[in-house]
Structures are given as C-alpha cells and as structure tokens.
Structure 1
Amino acid sequence: MHIVVYCLDHPDVIALRRTHFAAHKARLETSPLHTVIAGPLTEPDGTIVGSFFLYDAHDIETVRAFVLEDPFNIAGIWKTVDIRCFEKRAGRC
C-alpha cells in the first residue's frame, strides 16, 4: 500500500530546519519503511516550506508512528502533518 505524507512548516523555521536536518536525514536513511520518494516542498523561488514522502508500507499506522517521531516533527518544524493512503491509477513505475 502506498502512503503519502505531506507536511507544511511553521513560518520562519529555516534555521531550525538546518539545525535538525542531519538527524532527520539519518533517521530516513535507517528507516525500516520502504521510501519510494522523499524531499522538501518548495516555493517557486526554492524556499523550503515543508516535506513530502511517499512510502510503500503494510499499514498506515506504522508510517504514522515513524513520521510523528521524526526529528523535524519533534522539534516543532512541521505545522501540519497529513498522512493518507494513496491508490496509484496512472503513471510509470
């Protein structure tokens, strides 16, 4: 099952994001989840405003538990965290 995680940052957290980036990245690199794609959400000028993840997982609760323990979430960087199941109907793999 695919799970989409869409996180939007609080305003003015770029410095806080930089502070916690190494821990966030290390956690993702050692994740027990299969990450299909992940990266920052940006404005057209490149300003980071959030995070996007697409996981292939057995259940949404496993993903939810993993995401809520992310260093970015614990540090209060993400204002909103939306976690949804996703059904692929078009596109290439």
Structure 2
Amino acid sequence: MKSNAQRRPPLQARRPAYRSLEGWALGMLIEHHAIRECEHHGHAVDRSDPDARNRAREAAWNQPFPGASPEECQAAIDEVLRGIGDSCPDC
C-alpha cells in the first residue's frame, strides 16, 4: 500500500506573480499607492502623489522585473502612468 505522499501528483512549478513587464509595473504602482482602483468601476486612477511615484520608481530600480534592466523597469512604470488618468472615465 502506498502512503499519502506517494499518491499525490507531482507539484507543478509555481507560476510567476507577473507575466509581463507592464503587469509588474502596474503592480508596483498599486503596491506603493501611486494609483488606486475606482471603487465603482474598477479603473486605475492616478493618485497624483509624487512621493508614491518616486517610491515605485526606486523599488523598480532596486528590485527589477526578472530579465529586465532597472532602466527598462522605470520606463515601464512611466509608460503605465502615462496611460492612467486622474479620474475614472466612467464616473
């Protein structure tokens, strides 16, 4: 008779938290409170907080997305910010 450990299927490799540089940049901006989500519609909204933006950029420099340079990571953060307005388009 096999034990429980032997009956379990093999563990699958863990999927990375972010699949793309843009998704990672969006996550960094949310994590550092530079952007927020509209409570009613779910759109990303810029909080217009320069300190939060600077914290996100500094974190991107110190902990870049795997396989990307710190410069590419900061450029991705800037690109994501350019695409987000300071108000929800549906409000």
Report the TM-score when normalising by structure 2. 0.31
Task: Write 1 or 2 for the structure with the bigger share of strand.
Answer: 1
Which of the pair has the greater relative contact order for Cα pairs under 8 Å at 6+ separation? 1
* Bigger radius of gyration: 2
Task: Write 1 or 2 for the structure with the bigger share of helix.
Answer: 2
Report the TM-score when normalising by structure 1. 0.30
